[in-house]
Amino acid sequence: MSAAPLLGCAVDATALEQDAEYRALIASRFSVVTAENAMKFEPLRPDRETFAFAAADRLMAFAESAGLRVRGHTLVWHNQLADWVSAAPAAERRAIMADHIQAVVSRYRGRVWHWDVVNEPLDDDGEPRTSPWFEAMGIDYIAEAFRLAHEADPGATLYLNDYNVEDVCAKSDAYYELVRELIADGVPIHGFGVQGHRIVGDPPSSLRRNLSRFAALGLEVALTEVDIRIPQPPTPESLAAQADDYRGLLDAAAAVPECAAVVLWGLSDRYSWIPATFAGFGSAHVLDDDLREKPAYAAVFGSVTR
Ligand code: XIL
């Protein structure tokens, strides 16, 4: 892998269906999409017997008709996990996880470029995060999830993915050790995803070095969820700083030959998870509420080959 990273975007399934301008922008500006929510456990599994694939199917159909690759996000995570999973006896959760991975990955077999198999399994200290999966199986659930995903789609590139791992730090060190162990155990892991949710004016200082050390283990890497939030209201200065920060992330990614993709976590401030999640912040994306280009837009589209 030595081509420039492909540029992608997370898509909001409702906006994709209802906003033609948004849909056209996604189709024309990017070569990869991630479902912002539609392929997560909770929306896919209203109950143990039901698989609700309609929204995910529509996203796949859109991606295929527009010629976009899909990053599948995400199979095993502690968030947006249906309540019935934590209510189920711990002894049943291995079977629930296996069922889920088998059904979802095989449904889209051969059509998903990357799967985020396990999302955010470590906390900010690099310790295993407590979750219904960890409680039931201990840390072994990670290896098990990758084996199951590989069995269901041997052609998909399988990723571990997390936030606050842009730099060389305690958390990314813990991932580095985890990945080494998984590889030593013969687990089919192929990629490390660095999410890239950032605050303006605080760019990572060792992103390139960090990506390179994972690549040196034989993995590919990707920036999987890039957004850069700004304290509200934005100013010309903060918007310019945001453009610099986007450019810095893209340049670091482009400098690492094993970096497969840079995916933005949203295209425009019109559809953004930021204001509802981080009080006082917003304006995190490259287009504004009216889908007009912000300074960050030129920074992104000027620096990555599509
Ligand atoms: C976020 C979505 O953007 C929101 O719409 C949703 O309400 C919560 O999840 N890390 C991840 C993503 O891996 O799945 C999260 O997406 C953002 C943080």
**Which pLDDT value is given to residue 306?**
42
What confidence tens digit (pLDDT) does each residue in 13-68 have?
Answer: 999 999 999 999 999 999 999 999 999 999 999 999 999 999 999 999 999 999 99
Phi, psi of 91 (to 5 degrees): -65, -20
Bridge partners of 238?
Answer: none
What's the 235 CA to ligand 1 centre distance in angstroms?
A: 26
Q: Report how far residue 291's alpha carbon sits from residue 25's, in angstroms, rounded to the nearest whole number.
A: 9
Considering 36, 120, 166, 220, which one is annotated as catalytic? 120
What's the 184 CA to ligand 1 centre distance in angstroms?
A: 31
Probe residue for ligand 1, chosen from 39, 41, 166, 225 as the CB with the greatest number of ligand atoms within 8 Å: 225
What's the 37 CA to ligand 1 centre distance in angstroms?
A: 7
pLDDT at residue 126 is higher than 60:
yes
pLDDT at residue 302 is higher than 90:
no
Q: Report how far residue 241's alpha carbon sits from residue 200's, in angstroms, rounded to the nearest whole number.
A: 7
What confidence tens digit (pLDDT) does each residue in 134-175 have?
Answer: 999 999 999 999 999 999 999 999 999 999 999 999 999 999
Which ligand 1 atom is nearest residue 73's CA? 14
Considering 36, 220, 225, 258, which one is annotated as catalytic? 225
Amino acid letter, residue 144: E
Q: Report how far residue 82's alpha carbon sits from residue 97's, in angstroms, rounded to the nearest whole number.
A: 12
Mean pLDDT of the chain: 97
What confidence tens digit (pLDDT) does each residue in 88-117 have?
Answer: 999 999 999 999 999 999 999 999 999 999
Residue 2 banded pLDDT, cuts 50, 70, 90: low
pLDDT at residue 198 is higher than 60:
yes
Q: Report how far residue 95's alpha carbon sits from residue 98's, in angstroms, rounded to the nearest whole number.
A: 5
Which ligand 1 atom is nearest residue 265's CA? 3
What's the 36 CA to ligand 1 centre distance in angstroms?
A: 7
Probe residue for ligand 1, chosen from 76, 265, 281 as the CB with the greatest number of ligand atoms within 8 Å: 265
Structural domains of the chain ordered from first start: 6-303 (3.20.20.80)
Which ligand 1 atom is nearest residue 163's CA? 10
Q: Report how far residue 139's alpha carbon sits from residue 6's, in angstroms, rounded to the nearest whole number.
A: 32
What's the 247 CA to ligand 1 centre distance in angstroms?
A: 23
User: Is residue 177 within a helix (H) or strand (E), and if so which, with residue range?
Assistant: helix 170-184
Phi, psi of 144 (to 5 degrees): -60, -45
**Which pLDDT value is given to residue 99?**
98
- Ligand 1 neighbours (beta carbon < 6 A): 36-37, 119, 163, 195, 225, 273
Q: Which residues contact 52 (CB under 8 A, 6 or more apart)?
A: 43, 44, 45, 46
Coil, strand, or helix at residue 217? Answer: coil
Any idea which residue has 């304006």 for tokens?
283
What confidence tens digit (pLDDT) does each residue in 258-301 have?
Answer: 999 999 999 999 999 999 999 999 999 999 999 999 999 999 99
pLDDT at residue 73 is higher than 70:
yes
Q: Report how far residue 300's alpha carbon sits from residue 303's, in angstroms, rounded to the nearest whole number.
A: 6
DSSP code of residue 76: E
**Which pLDDT value is given to residue 303?**
55
Residue 1 banded pLDDT, cuts 50, 70, 90: very low
Bridge partners of 261?
Answer: 6, 222
Q: Are 33 and 68 in contact (CB under 8 A)?
A: yes
Q: Would residue 225 show up in a list of annotated catalytic residues for this protein?
A: yes
Q: Which of 43, 26, 30 minimizes the C-alpha distance to 77?
A: 43
User: Is residue 191 within a helix (H) or strand (E), and if so which, with residue range?
Assistant: strand 191-194
Indicate the pTM of the whole model: 0.97
Which ligand 1 atom is nearest residue 10's CA? 3
User: Is residue 44 within a helix (H) or strand (E), and if so which, with residue range?
Assistant: helix 41-44
- Angle, nearest 10°, between helix axes 207-215 and 170-184? 10
Q: Can the peptide bond before residue 235 be classed as cis, meaning omega within 30 degrees of 0?
A: no
Q: Report how far residue 134's alpha carbon sits from residue 128's, in angstroms, rounded to the nearest whole number.
A: 8
